[in-house]
Amino acid sequence: MKNRKPTYFKDLSLIFLILGLIVSCERDLSEDSVVATFPNTGEVFTDNPINLTDEFFISFDPAQGANTEGFGIDNNVAYAGTSSIRIDVPAPNDPNGSYIGGIFKDRSGGRNLTGYDALTFWAKGSLTATVGLVGFGTDFVDDKYAVGLENIQLSTDWRKYTIPIPNASRLLQEKGMFIFSAGTQSTNGLGYTLWIDELKFETLGTIAQPLPVILDGEDLVQQSFTGSSIRISGLTQTFNIASGENVTVQAAPSYFDFVSSDTSVAAVNELGIVSVVGSGTAFITATISSVLASGSLEVTSTGALPAAPIPTLPSSNVTSIFCDEYTNATSSNFEPGFGGSTTQAAVVTANNDSVLIYSNNNFTGIIFDNTVDASALSFMHVDVYAQQAGVQVEFQIRDIGANGVINTNIFTGQPEGDDADYRFTTGNLTVNGWNSFDIPLTGGILNQKNNLGAIILAGGPNFILDNIYFYTP
């Protein structure tokens, strides 16, 4: 039986703000102040929500496909006690939404969770499905200490799940008690029911062998420019738990302590944003609770990057892929990870403009999340910047057919199976200046460009791209 209706949140974007400590005052009429303390209640839901209001569940945005009708309390099923949380995961064609997810929020002042080392809960499903995301620390305001555990496997009997806390000393005032997101990708579109019970923060004492990671554990070398900024990504923390299993969680940047070897070149804040402030080279590393994270970033700045040319075509004539002057027609994967590729790619902000920086390129691709119909368009525009003499870049514009899928050759790592392409090579680029190209949509894609799905990049090895769009004059 369901007896709680969800509210919902209209903006899914993560807003990273600096969360100040709340300070209390007036102690014996003196001007001394002490840091405010908050309840250290660990229980979130047992038979009822603990220290939460009746409207403790806030759904993801239904305008983005979230189903707000499948959440409630089941008084007939429980791991312990008399009730549990019941979540009905919808089928993709459900008129109320194709997936379900949201957060449990402490709407009061928050909780002090510094004494705990994990969030735990018991769960089971009506099917042996995979739940895409569980975690805590998301409150739809700051999300400063968000933690996510992806793709947990359900059983049809009750099992306990453990989400380690990367650095509990930071959780002085946490409002994000739980987050989940579930769809039917693992059940071939078949809806199912998920039950959760005994949701609580605990001190297990068995969370061990912390292994923090930044940049997915890679030691990256990145060229950059004064005035640019780079976001440190690929942040995780792995722990060994009592079962012997290694559990890896996605961890927000604020759990890490970032260090720059030369702050006159690059400084990094608690949100993992590297600000390049001068010329030279700086090494960025990080720790969690004094444990050095695997992965690093070497940033080399040669000074200010000249601004790329500003496009002047009317937006009605343009289908944009990567350009701040237009609304992009699709999101794209700039690091597809082709086998054998040595390329490092990064989106960097310079001169209040986003640019794509490629280092050590042999071949890579810009893979569109949705295909682009360029039937009525004649050219692809791109601006290319090189710092070294002898740099050439080959662009392969690919129509991938009705299925919208690019296959990868398992032997070469090269994408294949596209229906048609057109290849254009820049020739040697002018150094330390923007080179603009208007590439005709001709050759093999002249009569087949209604499902453009990728731009494959070869050559280099180091270059910068901006203003990538298809257009007609």
* 3 state SS for 246-298: EEEEEECHHHCEEEECCCCCEEECCCCEEEECCCEEEEEEEEECCEECECEEE
> Which range among 16-30, 198-212, 293-307 shows the weakest confidence by mean pLDDT?
16-30
Report the distance separating Cα 463 and Cα 63, nearest Å. 39
Domain check: are 327 and 451 in the same one?
yes
Segment 240-265 mean pLDDT: 97
Domain check: are 165 and 214 in the same one?
no
344: closest CA among 233, 243, 244?
233
Asked if the model's pLDDT at residue 340 lies above 90, the reply is: no
Report pLDDT digits (tens) over 47-76.
Answer: 999 988 767 899 999 988 999 999 999 999
User: Encoding tokens for residue 145?
Assistant: 């200490």
Segment 227-235 mean pLDDT: 89
Domain check: are 277 and 329 in the same one?
no
Report the distance separating Cα 234 and Cα 473, nearest Å. 41
Report the distance separating Cα 413 and Cα 202, nearest Å. 45
Report pLDDT digits (tens) over 4-23.
Answer: 333 333 333 332 222 232 22
> Which range among 50-54, 161-165, 356-360 shows the weakest confidence by mean pLDDT?
50-54
Task: Please name the residues in contact with 342: beta carbons below 8 A apart, sequence gap of 6 or more.
Answer: 360, 361, 362
Task: Please name the residues in contact with 244: beta carbons below 8 A apart, sequence gap of 6 or more.
Answer: none
The pLDDT value recorded for residue 89 is 97
User: Encoding tokens for residue 104?
Assistant: 């449990």
Tell me whether residue 177 is in a domain. yes
Domain check: are 452 and 364 in the same one?
yes
The pLDDT value recorded for residue 427 is 93
Domain check: are 128 and 249 in the same one?
no
Report the distance separating Cα 343 and Cα 336, nearest Å. 10
Report the distance separating Cα 58 and Cα 374, nearest Å. 40
The pLDDT confidence band at residue 419, using thresholds 50, 70 and 90, is: low
Report the distance separating Cα 446 and Cα 266, nearest Å. 46
The residue out of 253, 284, 304 marking a domain boundary is 304
Choice between 175 and 416, residue whose per-residue pLDDT is larger: 175
Asked if the model's pLDDT at residue 150 lies above 70, the reply is: yes
Task: Please name the residues in contact with 212: beta carbons below 8 A apart, sequence gap of 6 or more.
Answer: 166, 236, 237, 238, 251, 256, 286, 287, 288, 291, 292, 293, 294
Q: Mean pLDDT over all residues of the chain?
A: 88
The pLDDT value recorded for residue 170 is 97
Report the distance separating Cα 296 and Cα 260, nearest Å. 10
Alpha carbon of 412 to those of 214, 338, 340, 409: distances in Å?
Answer: 28, 9, 7, 6
pTM score, whole prediction: 0.75
The residue out of 168, 202, 236 marking a domain boundary is 202
Asked if the model's pLDDT at residue 2 lies above 80, the reply is: no
Asked if the model's pLDDT at residue 29 lies above 70, the reply is: no
Report the distance separating Cα 293 and Cα 219, nearest Å. 11
253: closest CA among 288, 224, 219?
288
Burial of 410 (0-12, 13-18, 19+ CB in 10 A): exposed
First to last CA, the chain: 61
The pLDDT confidence band at residue 402, using thresholds 50, 70 and 90, is: low
Domain check: are 234 and 255 in the same one?
yes
Name the residue range of residue 425's domain: 315-471
Asked if the model's pLDDT at residue 303 lies above 90, the reply is: no
The pLDDT confidence band at residue 139, using thresholds 50, 70 and 90, is: very high
Q: How many domains does the chain have?
A: 3
Asked if the model's pLDDT at residue 212 lies above 60, the reply is: yes
Segment 322-345 mean pLDDT: 92
The pLDDT confidence band at residue 349, using thresholds 50, 70 and 90, is: confident
Domain check: are 388 and 289 in the same one?
no
